Structures are given as C-alpha cells and as structure tokens.
C-alpha cells in the first residue's frame, strides 16, 4: 500500500518533469502554424524551416566552435585541477578552489556581465575568445567533480604499486591514473559539452550578433515569432540529449559519475 | 534427540523455531531447507564460512529478508509475515548501526520510545542498561566521541533494554581488535548469564563460537551441517566439512576397515593404523572410511610405542607459535601431516629434511564413512 | 620536495591563470559599480557612490523581495518533489529502474534553459496544453492565466531546479547507512518513523545544501522570468538586463549584479555554517 502510493507519486512527479519535453516534440510535427496538442497531423515542415533558417545555421556553427573549444579545455583544466586538489595541499588552495568552484554559485548573468566588461576593455567583443573563456569557467566545475569522484573511487595503491615497480611519475599518470579515471573524464567532457551547447544567460551577454550561439538565436526568434520552428529545434536537442544520456548511462554509469552509488 | 521432542511438546520452552526455511536470491540458494529449534535462554551460534547463509538466516529471523519458503516462529507465534518492527527482536549489527544524530541516551531509549513507555520508565530503564554496560556518565556523549568498544556496548544496551524475545548478534566482535575482542567475549557471556536472553550469535570465527555458545549450528552452502554443543562438535564432527572447519585436522586418505571386537584396523595403502573401537561406530569389515586426526594427537614416537601406529615422515617445516610448534611432515602413503608439539623448545626438533618417526594417537580419531562427505 | 609532487607546477599554472582571468572579470563588475553613469552612452565617468544610492527605491525593493520569495518557493517545492525521486533513484531494487529514473531525472538539466522555458510556454500559455485540456474537459470557460504570473514562473523554475536537487539529494541518500534504518525498524519503529526519525535527519546536510544551492541558482534565473514572466514578473536578472541593454546603465547593472552575487554567496555561507553543524553531529569514527 505504502509502496503503491510512493511509486504513484514518483510517476506523477516524473510526468511533471517530462511533460514539457513531450509537448515540444508533439507540437514540432504539427502542420499548422498555431500550436496544437495533441498534434492534428504530421509534418516535417518546421524541421525544414529550422534547419534552413540562416540565423540558426550560423548560430549552430558558433555553438559548435564554442562547445568544442570550451569543453575540451575544461576537460584538461578540470582533470588537472581535480588531480591537484585530490593529491596536494598547498598554500592558497582554498582560494583557488573557491575561485574555480564559484561559477556554480555566482549568477550566470553576473559572470556574463563580468566577461562582457572584461571583453570590452580588451576589445575582444567580436570574437570567440571571451565566449569560450566564460563557458570554460561555467562548465569546468562539472568536469572537476566527475574526475574527483573517479579519483576517489580509484585505489591510490595502484599508483603506489606502479611507482614501486619502477614507473616514473609520468608513466604512473599516463599508464595508471588516467586510464583508471578515463570514464570520469569522458563523462565530464560530455557534461561540459552539453552544458556549453545549451548555455544561454551568460552567452546572451558575451556574444555579438556575428557570434551568437544557438540558444541566443532561439531566444531572439521566440521574442519575434510564434511558430513551431523552435519546437522543431527543441525537439532535436531534447531527443539528442536523451539519446546521449542513455548511451552515457550505459557505457559510463551516470550514477557513478554523479557520485550516487547505491547505498 | 529426546530433549528436542520435549521442546516440540512445550512451545513455551521454544523461543525460536525455524521450520524448513529456504531463501533464493536470483539463481543462488542462500539458505536451503533449514530447520532449527532454539530453546528459551539458549546462546546459540550460527557458524560457517562467508556465504554459507548464516547472516541470511539471521536476517530472516529479524525480518529484514523474507523466506522464499518455510516458516519462522518466535515465542510460539508465527512471524513469517510479520514486519520487522513488530517482531520484538533485538539486533546488534556488525557495523553497530548506532544513530549518529542521537546521543548515547537517545540511542538506547529509541526502542522504548517506540513502545510508548512513560518518560520516567524510559529514563530508569535506559540508565539501568547504561549502568549494566558500564557506560555510566556517557549518556550525553555523541556516538562519534566513543571508542569502538564503547560503541559496541551502546549497541548491546540498545538491543537488550527492550527485553527482546531474542537477541540477534551479527558478528558484533569482528570490528574490534584482538585484546578488546577477548574482553568483550567475557562480557557477552556475563551479559547472557545476567539477562537470560535467548541469543542467536553469527560468526565465522570458530574459536569465538566454541568459547561462547551453548550450542553451535555449523552451516555450509545454505545448509545445516551439524547442531551440537561445542565439545561434541569438536570431538564428533558429523562430516568432513565440520571436521576441517572446527579446529585444525589432518584428513587421511581413504582407509579400508577391519573390525575386531575392541579395535578397528584402518589400512591405508600398506600403512595399518589401529583405533580402539567406539560403540557408536557402525563400520563393517571391508568398508571404506575416512580418518581425521587432530595435530595435537600426533607426537614424536618413542621406543615404548613398539611401532604401533608409528609412521615415518620427512620433516618439511617448523612453524613456531610460542606456546607450541606446528611441524609439517610428508608421510609416504598419507601425504602431508601436521603435528602440534607443546612447548616452543627448539632442542627436541628434528631438523628440516630429515626423517622422523611419529606416533598417531587414534583414541580420539574422527572416523567417517567415506561417502559421508 | 619537487620529486614528491610530480605535475604540481604544470597542473597549478593553468588553474591559477583561469582563476585570475575570472577574478579580473568579477573585478570589472566591482569597478563599474563605482563609476558614474553617463546617460545615453556606454562610456562611464569618474568615481561615484550614486549607483548604490539608486537602489533605495521601492521598485527595487519589490524586485529583490520578489526574487527572494520566488527563489524560496522554488527551492521548497523542488525539495518536496525531488526527495521521492532521489530516494527512488538510490533505493529502487531493480537496476534498470534506477537507470531509467536517473536518465529521466537528469536529462532535463541538459536540454538547456531556452528549450525548457519554451516548452513551458507551450504548456502554460493562454492556448497552452493546460488551458486547452481544461477547456476540452469543460472544467473552465475562458483561459485561466498561468503565463505572466508568479505561480507560472515557479512551476517552470521548480522543474529546472529538480535535476540538480535530485543529484545532490541522491548523493546524500546513498550515504545513509542502511544498517541504521534496519536497526530502527528492529527496535520497533514503523516505516514512517524510520523515515522521519532516521533517514531524514541523516540526510539533513544534503537537504540543507541542496535547498540553498537551488535557492541561489534560482535567484540568478533569467530566461524563465524573462519569457514566462513576460515583464510582469521581474527578478534581479531581468532588471540587470534591462539596465544593461535597454538603458545602457552599465554601472547600475553592475550594482545589481553585485547584489545578486552577494545574495548567492551569503546563502552559501549560511549553508556552510548550517551543514558544518550537522556534519559535526553526524560525524562517526
């Protein structure tokens, strides 16, 4: 009885969490310009419009550039930083940790605003440098956490055993530590890439019209038009992230990466 | 046997009755058709290697795991489908499972509060239990401020204060270091004597089982191998598993029996050993049997032995253990043999690599039919 | 010493470099908040404290209060709805159930603000799913307003906050020792009592920290109040944007950003204090 009640609650809450996504996907295939749920027919015209709309094409390219650079840099930075705080105590570590964890807490618009001002000081407002930098800061904590959790789950004695058998520190790092935390690094990279691709608030501040990323372009579109083109793009994003999540869960174990092991 | 029948007639005298209980996890048969009657006030130990089903069985008595089949009665009442919180058992966990967000007093009082005792009643019962476990003055301490031994005592106090129908101890001593463990064993015996609580104790440590229990239940692969008092278990193991699990023992190769009026001769290859015949043995001449000999029943042969039950082996190694020395030999026809020589003096040792004559005392040999393993 | 610390310097340098760049960006916000606004221009004048004085107007108090209340309500409802999911994610008996739950619960985090906000516009709008469904069922005549209202904003914000909350709560729940719950049941506690007297207290640090993280997170929400609030529900972020991009009053936008930053850091500090107390209580040897 109790568990029936509990699981009904769980299902209802999950419906609440997933209902919007379902609605978006449903409306994206609706042939009419007016939103209708459930759809009154099936058409891919909004997908065609979304994929051929020049603003979105440009924005998608920008997004890919920013995503590739920031997530890769974040993986390098986050992994080395996780390694650093996992292994070493040093003066100023607390301050450094505060600085690199704080983008999780600091409002994205404050971060975006800060980089906007910094960018205009350095006359970098038209390029990708400032956008990549802002994204790098926003997504690095997720990589750091994933790699840190992986490091905590790996027995430090493996590294000691390797060193004891004559491996140099570089050999230990590249042949023992990195292979063992690779799932964490890949998971972290994936999370970083997706978060960068979908980041909006900070991007709104730091992108120029030439460099606007996909979410910014979508925001501008929503403010002007009310047809299901955005539904089509959203549906594509929702379906691809869902597939990525299922695949990631299968190969990397989401629960392990997130530190939610079964108690 | 007769006693067991009497308990069946008088349900009052039977604290826990486990009736053909089995439990399957996926494809693993964790507990396989186990039946056991535990007398009121008895200290009974479930002993066996890890994975033998002893913890699963204990968890089924507590109600954390439901049997796949069979029934469990506590105090005469069928509790097979009774939820954990209504079973009135007191469990001490291997991890102690003390509530970290409560102090000592509140931990001990937890069970009484569920039973809706008055505040004054709770207070006096808790203080009594705390005193009994020598924890006086610590009632307001946080759990994190206690040593391992003290946590153990709080866990015991918490379990006994509710006067459970049965006290369940799940390897409670395994987290303690050796000297503390010995001390807690003494305290457990005294606690059992003072409270008279029926106790089921789970352990994989045969020494612990031998020194604490009224009766020991040896389990392996989900099944009961033998239920017996400690001395009986050590001297008359029911099968090869029990023989080798309880204490050290040499398993000799299969022997052919020749039964005489007061002796049994055991022929192993061209070695003949002669044991005084015991009334409970039911061997016929020509039958195959397996003999088990404890290391303490083997010594260096003397001329007085006259060659009776004397074999020759090559000394492989000496293992010095302080109060005694274990010597391993290889005896042609018997294989590796361990003997245990009292005293650690090096003088009497035969050097490694040389031959030694050893005399096997078969007065306490364990003799099992060769099919019984 | 250096031999004991391989890769210390090569790993430290990039981290410090990035931290310094971030500090520079934050310092820019700080610096702008003290510079004079020149109306009609993005250029700024000299040192002034006027920007801080401008805050002292009822409209900004209301915005701050609104932001605070909306964030609080969001964190509260997110907590109530996330706990059962987190519990199920950790405790479901079957592995595939846990996997399905974790994917369903976490995926919304990765679809991004814009997609999620837009989806809620389709659900909550005047001609949205809720209104059309209710009308089709004959329960209402005209559309009930959900868009452009505070409840509408909270409904969307709660769903955004839940994935993060679920991750944090699930971490806390997975650390609860099952033996403690078993011990309580063994001592006679009903499943309800076990939950409220053992599970909840033992996960209290996680509850507090996830509450505050979501609270701080929601205070910086932008696109939801912007699009679903539609200018009728204003949070700090929307005013910062208005000041920065409509009035080009960058100094005042900086002041508001600093206030938001201060509120976020302040709630984080409070959380640290509160959880430290709980963790001390819960520390085991």
Give me the CATH number covering residue B98: 3.40.50.300
Residues B141 and B261 in one domain: no
Residues B235 and B99 in one domain: yes
Measured between CA atoms, how close is B115 to chain C, in angstroms? 7
**Close Cβ partners of A115 (under 8 Å, ≥ 6 residues apart):** A130, A133, A134, A202, A205, A206, C25
Measured between CA atoms, how close is C99 to chain B, in angstroms? 20
* Boundary-marking domain end, from B201, B221, B245: B245
Structure ipTM: 0.87
Q: Which residues of B touch C284 (CB under 8 A)?
A: 98, 100, 143-144
The SS3 assignment for B4 reads: helix
Q: Which residues of A touch C112 (CB under 8 A)?
A: 197-200, 215, 237
In angstroms, the CA A202 to CA A127 distance is 15
Q: Is C179 in the B-facing interface, judged by CB distances under 8 Å?
A: yes
Pairing assessment for the beta strands B255-259 and B263-268 based on DSSP bridges = antiparallel
Containing domain of residue C261, as a range? 29-284
B72, part of any domain: yes
C21, part of any domain: no
Number of structural domains, chain C?
Answer: 1
C7, part of any domain: no
> pLDDT tens for residues C234-243?
898 999 998 8
Interface contact C188-B144, CB threshold 8 A: no
**Close Cβ partners of B261 (under 8 Å, ≥ 6 residues apart):** B277
CATH number belonging to the domain at A53-224, selected among 1.20.200.10, 3.40.50.150, 1.10.3720.10, 3.40.50.12160: 1.10.3720.10
Indicate if the alpha-carbon torsion angle B348, B353, B359, B362 is positive or negative. Answer: positive
Containing domain of residue B303, as a range? 250-369
Residues B173 and B269 in one domain: no
Residues B240 and B274 in one domain: no
In angstroms, the CA B310 to CA B317 distance is 20
Residues B165 and B258 in one domain: no
pLDDT in tens, chain C (285 residues): 445 677 888 999 999 999 999 999 999 999 999 998 888 777 788 888 888 888 888 888 899 899 999 999 999 999 999 999 999 999 998 889 998 999 899 888 888 889 999 999 999 988 888 988 898 888 888 888 988 999 999 999 999 999 999 999 999 999 999 999 999 999 999 999 999 999 999 999 899 989 988 998 888 889 999 999 988 888 989 999 988 888 888 899 999 999 888 888 888 788 778 777 777 666 543
DSSP summary character for residue A155: -
Residues B78 and B154 in one domain: yes
B109, part of any domain: yes
The SS3 assignment for B74 reads: strand
In angstroms, the CA C25 to CA B341 distance is 80
Other CB atoms within 10 Å distance of the CB of residue C52? 15
Interface contact A110-C250, CB threshold 8 A: no
List the subunits that have 3+ CB pairs under 8 angstroms with A: C
Cβ-based contacts under 8 A for chains B and C: 87
Q: Over the Cα atoms of chain C, what is R_g?
A: 23
The CATH number assigned to the domain holding B312 equals 2.40.50.140
Chain Cα centroid distance, residue A71:
8
The CATH number assigned to the domain holding C261 equals 1.10.3720.10
Return the percentage of chain A with pLDDT > 90, whole number: 56
| DSSP H helical ranges for chain C | 8-32, 50-54, 58-91, 95-106, 113-124, 129-136, 150-174, 178-186, 191-194, 200-202, 204-219, 223-227, 236-241, 250-282
Least confident of A61-75, A145-159, B98-112, B191-205: A145-159
pTM to 2 decimal places: 0.84
The helix (run of H) or strand (run of E) holding residue B21 is strand B14-25
Count of residues making up chain B: 373
> pLDDT tens for residues C180-211?
999 999 999 999 999 999 999 999 989 998 99
CB C258 within 8 A of CB C29: yes
C279, part of any domain: yes
Q: Which residues of A touch C157 (CB under 8 A)?
A: none
In angstroms, the CA B281 to CA B263 distance is 11
Q: What angle do CA B38, B41, B47 make, to 5 degrees?
A: 50
B270, part of any domain: yes
CB B169 within 8 A of CB B187: no
Residues B205 and B354 in one domain: no
Measured between CA atoms, how close is A99 to chain C, in angstroms? 6
- Asked if omega into C36 is within 30° of 0 (cis), the reply is no
In angstroms, the CA A12 to CA A129 distance is 44
Nearest to B85 among C180, C188, C201 (CB): C188
B277, part of any domain: yes
DSSP summary character for residue B355: E
In angstroms, the CA B123 to CA B128 distance is 9
Q: Which residues of A touch C244 (CB under 8 A)?
A: 113, 116, 205
Nearest to C123 among A20, A194, A261 (CB): A20
In angstroms, the CA B311 to CA B359 distance is 7
Identify which of C62, C16, C28, C58 has the alpha carbon closest to the alpha carbon of residue C232.
C62
Q: Which residues of C touch B85 (CB under 8 A)?
A: 185-191, 193-194
CB B240 within 8 A of CB B373: yes
In angstroms, the CA A69 to CA A137 distance is 12
Interface contact B93-C182, CB threshold 8 A: yes
Interface contact C244-A260, CB threshold 8 A: no
């Amino acid at each position: 009885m109790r568990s029936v009640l509990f699981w009904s609650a769980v299902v209802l809450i999950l419906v609440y969490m997933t209902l919007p996504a379902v609605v978006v996907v449903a409306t994206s295939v609706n042939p009419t310009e007016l939103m209708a749920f459930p759809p009154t027919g099936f058409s891919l015209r909004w997908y065609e419009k979304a994929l051929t709309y020049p603003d979105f094409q440009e924005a998608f390219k920008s997004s890919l550039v920013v995503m590739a650079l920031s997530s890769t840099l974040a993986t390098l930075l986050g992994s080395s930083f996780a390694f650093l705080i996992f292994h070493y105590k040093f003066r100023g570590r607390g301050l450094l940790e505060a600085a690199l964890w704080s983008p999780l807490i600091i409002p994205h618009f404050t971060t975006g605003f800060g980089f906007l001002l910094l960018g205009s000081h350095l006359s970098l407002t038209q390029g990708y440098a400032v956008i990549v930098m802002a994204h790098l800061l926003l997504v690095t904590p997720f990589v750091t956490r994933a790699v840190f959790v992986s490091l905590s789950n790996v027995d430090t004695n493996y590294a000691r055993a390797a060193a004891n058998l004559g491996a140099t520190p570089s050999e230990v790092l590249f042949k023992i530590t990195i292979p063992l935390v690779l799932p964490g690094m890949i998971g972290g990279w994936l999370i970083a890439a997706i978060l960068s691709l979908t980041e909006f608030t900070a991007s709104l501040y730091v992108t120029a019209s030439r460099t606007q990323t996909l979410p910014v372009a979508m925001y501008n579109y929503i403010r002007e038009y009310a047809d299901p083109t955005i539904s089509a793009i959203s549906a594509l994003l929702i379906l691809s992230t869902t597939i990525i999540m299922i695949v990631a869960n299968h190969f990397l174990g989401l629960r392990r990466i997130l530190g939610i092991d079964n108690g | 046997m007769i006693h067991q029948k009497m308990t069946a007639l008088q349900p009052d005298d039977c604290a826990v009755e486990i009736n053909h209980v089995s439990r399957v996890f996926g494809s693993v048969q964790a507990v396989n058709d186990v039946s056991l009657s535990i007398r009121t006030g008895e200290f009974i130990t479930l002993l066996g290697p890890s994975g033998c089903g002893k913890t699963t069985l204990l968890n089924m008595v507590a109600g954390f795991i439901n049997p796949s089949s069979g029934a469990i009665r506590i105090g005469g009442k069928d509790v097979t489908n009774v939820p954990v919180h209504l079973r009135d058992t007191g469990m001490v966990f291997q991890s102690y499972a003390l509530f970290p967000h409560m102090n000592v007093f509140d931990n001990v009082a937890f069970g009484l509060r569920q039973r809706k005792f008055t505040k004054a009643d709770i207070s006096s019962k808790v203080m009594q239990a705390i005193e009994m476990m020598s924890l006086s003055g610590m009632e307001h301490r946080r759990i994190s401020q206690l040593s391992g031994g003290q946590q153990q005592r709080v866990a015991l106090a918490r379990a006994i204060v509710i006067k459970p129908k049965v006290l369940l101890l799940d390897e409670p001593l395994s987290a303690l270091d050796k000297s503390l463990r010995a001390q807690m064993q003494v305290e457990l015996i005294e606690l059992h004597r003072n409270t008279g609580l029926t106790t089921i104790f789970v352990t994989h440590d045969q020494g612990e089982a031998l020194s604490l229990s009224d009766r020991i239940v040896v389990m392996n692969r989900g099944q009961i191998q033998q239920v017996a008092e400690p001395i009986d278990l050590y001297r008359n193991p029911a099968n090869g598993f029990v023989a080798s699990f309880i204490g050290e023992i040499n398993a000799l190769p299969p022997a052919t029996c020749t039964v005489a009026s007061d002796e049994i001769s055991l022929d192993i290859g061209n070695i003949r050993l002669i044991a005084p015949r015991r009334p409970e043995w039911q061997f016929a001449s020509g039958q195959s049997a397996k003999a088990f000999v404890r290391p303490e029943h083997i010594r260096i042969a003397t001329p007085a032995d006259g060659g009776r039950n004397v074999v020759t082996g090559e000394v492989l190694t000496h293992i010095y253990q302080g109060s005694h020395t274990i010597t391993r030999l290889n005896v042609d026809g018997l294989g590796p043999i361990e003997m245990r020589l009292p005293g650690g003096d090096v003088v009497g040792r035969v050097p490694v690599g040389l031959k030694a004559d050893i005399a096997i005392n078969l007065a306490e040999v364990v003799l099992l039919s060769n099919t019984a393993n | 010493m250096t031999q004991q610390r391989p890769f210390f310097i090569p790993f430290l340098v990039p981290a410090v470099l990035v931290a310094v760049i971030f500090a520079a960006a934050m310092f820019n916000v700080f610096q702008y908040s003290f510079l004079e606004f020149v109306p009609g221009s993005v250029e700024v004048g000299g040192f002034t404290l006027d920007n801080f004085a401008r805050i002292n107007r009822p409209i900004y108090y209301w915005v701050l209060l609104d932001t605070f209340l909306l964030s609080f309500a969001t964190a509260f409802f997110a907590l109530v709805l996330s706990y059962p999911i987190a519990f199920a994610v950790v405790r479901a008996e079957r592995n595939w159930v846990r996997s399905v739950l974790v994917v369903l619960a976490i995926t919304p985090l990765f679809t991004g603000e814009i997609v999620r906000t837009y989806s809620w516009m389709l659900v909550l709008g005047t001609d949205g799913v809720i209104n059309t469904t209710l009308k089709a069922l004959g329960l209402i005549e005209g559309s009930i307003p959900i868009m452009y209202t505070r409840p509408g904003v909270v409904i969307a914000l709660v769903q955004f906050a839940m994935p993060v909350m679920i991750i944090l709560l699930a971490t806390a729940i997975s650390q609860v020792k099952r033996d403690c719950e078993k011990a309580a049941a063994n001592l006679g506690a009903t499943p309800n009592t076990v939950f409220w007297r053992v599970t909840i207290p033992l996960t209290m640090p996680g509850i507090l920290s996830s509450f505050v993280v979501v609270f701080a997170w929601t205070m910086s929400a932008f696109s939801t109040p912007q699009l679903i609030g539609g200018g009728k529900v204003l949070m700090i972020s929307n005013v910062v944007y208005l000041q920065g991009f409509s009035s080009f009053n960058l100094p005042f936008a900086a002041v508001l950003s600093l206030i938001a930053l201060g509120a976020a850091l302040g709630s984080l500090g409070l959380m640290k204090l509160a959880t430290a107390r709980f963790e001390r209580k819960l520390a085991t040897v």
